[in-house]
Amino acid sequence: MSVNKEVKRITTHILQEMKQHGEKISMLTAYDFSMATILDDAGLDVLLVGDSASNVMAGHETTLPITLDQMIYHAASVVRGAARAFVVVDLPFGSYQGNSKEALNSAIRIMKESGAHGVKLEGGTEVVDSIQRIITAGIPVMGHLGLTPQSIYKFGTYTVRAKGEAEADKLKSDALALQEAGCFGIVLEKIPAKLGAAVSKSLHIPTIGIGAGPDCDGQVLVVNDMIGLTKGFKPRFLRQYLNLYDGIKDAAQAYIRDVKGNDFPNEKEQY
């Protein structure tokens, strides 16, 4: 029996119960009202307004350029479409790394101006002060470990993280520190499946994996990748459920043909 079947709104408490009952958490990114409405209607537990909006919505190479104002715009649109899902929003690069007060102010802006239900930020022990301060203000925080795209210029590559013992040990202790700080969940991105399993087992809060194996407590994908809108992006962890790129292209070409051939609009499509 599903923990969350009859609930009006998914909460952090319900996510915790889902972990306890072994019910997997489904999470996808969303950036706009229309998509959020569909995903919420489909029954997603969590919608992540990811800073991947910087890539898939704005066409930037990295997540670094997106601003707090832009994230709030996307988040407010998603919140208007999400009747039941828990909506969590990424704190963008540069909006929380300075100090815990800056982090709190950014989180408050997201909550006040978008109506979202929680925030996510990247990093381990180095962001614990900020996490604690945000949580003290009553804002649920989700952590993000492993491949943290805001640090891409430090890593130099989007390859799998924590394959070596030292980085794996640091990730394990970071995960415990985030749990201790009060995070309601942690995204684990692109790490070995064995490590994803070990971290998930060691925590009482849920882990949500993206390229972190099947033993995380939930899974997340970037929706544009999952529905095949992003052309040519096929990492091993991605399961593509649709090929919307070709579907939309075919539709657009059919429309061009109809317009140029004087077939659209026909008698029934005019006043």
Please list the active-site residues. 189
- 51 annotated to a ligand binding site: yes
CA 9, CA 79: separation in Å to the nearest integer?
Answer: 12
Here the tokens at position 226 are 């999952």
CA 205, CA 169: separation in Å to the nearest integer?
Answer: 19
Write each residue from 158 to 197 as x if it is in contact with ligand KIV (CB under 6 A), else as -, in one continuous string. -----------------------------x-x--------
Stretch that binds ligand KIV, among 16-24, 48-56, 178-186, 233-241 (CB under 6 A): 48-56
86 neighbors 11 (Cβ within 8 angstroms): yes
Q: Which of 141, 220, 226, 227 binds ligand KIV (CB under 6 A)?
A: 220
57 neighbors 250 (Cβ within 8 angstroms): no
| Min dist. Cβ of residue 76 to ligand KIV (A) | 17
Residue environment code for 37-61, b if the CB has 16+ CB neighbours within 10 A, otherwise e: bebbeeebbbbbbbbbbbbbbeeee
Q: At what angle do helices 193-202 and 165-181 cross, to 10 degrees?
A: 30
Stretch that binds ligand KIV, among 50-58, 80-88, 164-172, 255-263 (CB under 6 A): 50-58
> For residue 209, which of 201, 150, 93 has the smallest C-alpha distance?
201
Is 210 a binding residue for ligand KIV by CB under 6 A? The answer is yes
Is 230 a binding residue for ligand KIV by CB under 6 A? The answer is no
Stretch that binds ligand KIV, among 18-26, 32-40, 49-57, 95-103 (CB under 6 A): 49-57
Residues in a beta bridge with 123: 144
Is 79 a binding residue for ligand KIV by CB under 6 A? The answer is no
For the annotated binding site for 3-methyl-2-oxobutanoate, the residues are 51-52, 90, 120
Site residues (CB under 6 A) for ligand KIV? 29, 48, 50-52, 90, 187, 189, 210, 220, 222
